[in-house]
Structure 1
Amino acid sequence: MTAYAVMGASSVMLPGLPDLAWAPASCFVVGALGWLWWTARGRGAAPGDALALAGLGLLLLAVRVVALYPWLRLPAPAVYLGGGFLQTAALALLTVVLAVVGRRDLVAAEPGVS
């Protein structure tokens, strides 16, 4: 629901530059950072949670790249492209971090798995 609210607000604020991937990717970045912060404070999480988030991150990263690609050939504002590239980098970094944390959690839960 948050992604829909953010997307609606961005459509109203920037009607000339619709970007359907911006809101879900932003919500994922905030949610993943919140999840990492929550688990770093010692709160429990299931071993597969990080890998599930990493999978979602991969899907959103693909959507973000596909949504950003057509704008590379057009004269778009530098702030728009810079924000898209920054968001893409944040998605990629968080996806890698979540995959590493997920693997670590699975190995800790099942010591025989490597």
Structure 2
Amino acid sequence: MEHLARYPAPRTRLYHLMAEGMAFKVTVALRARRVEKWICGVKRDFLDAAMTKCVGLDSEFTDPRAGDQCAVVLQLSVASETLVFQICYADEVPQVLKEFLQDGNIRICGAA
């Protein structure tokens, strides 16, 4: 995923990856509107009908030794869909994302 190393990052990139016989769709986004669209899509396509609603979550932060620590990247995964939200370059953090992360019906599974 060479595009992630470029600066400044493009607004939205879609990647279709094959790994071990499985297909993945990765959306790299900077715009709040694209994040809202991704959340609506995974809710409709995967979570609404699921008995157990599970979302994978990972994040990256700036170096705390360099001053105030803040989020740089938020990654969400549902089934074969992944969102990489580059918060550090984003126009805003959408309310839909905040509500999605606080939804008591969704089990958030983080990486350690």
TM over 0.5: no
Query: Greater strand percent: which structure?
Result: 2
Q: TM-score range by the shorter chain?
A: 0.3 to 0.5
More helix, by proportion: 1
TM-score norm. by structure 1 comes to 0.35
Per chain length, whose mean CA-contact separation is higher, i.e. which structure has more relative contact order (CA < 8 Å, sep 6+)?
A: 1
Greater Rg, structure 1 or structure 2? 1
TM-score (norm 2): 0.36
